[in-house]
Amino acid sequence: MKKVTFAILTVGIAVLASCGGGNAEAEKAKADSIAAAATADSIAKAEAEAAAATAMPDTTVKVDTVITPAK
């Protein structure tokens, strides 16, 4: 009877140990997904900054004083 109980206990522990592996894989997949999203965001930000740096600068001139011609 002790051998049967030991065998059932051993099988039960093996089943519980094998079921726990799925959670670790799900957490790793979630972490990888978050890392990929962060990488995509940083690439988009860098591209936007590069586009802004190469854009034409504002060349408009603002005049605060109006000069009237002499009569």
Please tell me the predicted confidence (pLDDT) of residue 22.
62
Please tell me the predicted confidence (pLDDT) of residue 35.
92
pLDDT tens figures, 23-65? 777 788 889 999 999 999 999 999 988 888 787 666 777 777 7
Please tell me the predicted confidence (pLDDT) of residue 36.
92
Within a domain: 32: yes
Please tell me the predicted confidence (pLDDT) of residue 20.
61
The whole-number average pLDDT for the span 4-27 is: 77
Number of domains in the chain: 1
- pTM for this prediction: 0.44
First to last CA, the chain: 123
Within a domain: 30: yes
> Could you tell me the residue range of the domain that residue 45 belongs to?
2-54
| Alpha helices in 1-71, H assignment, sequence order | 2-19, 21-54
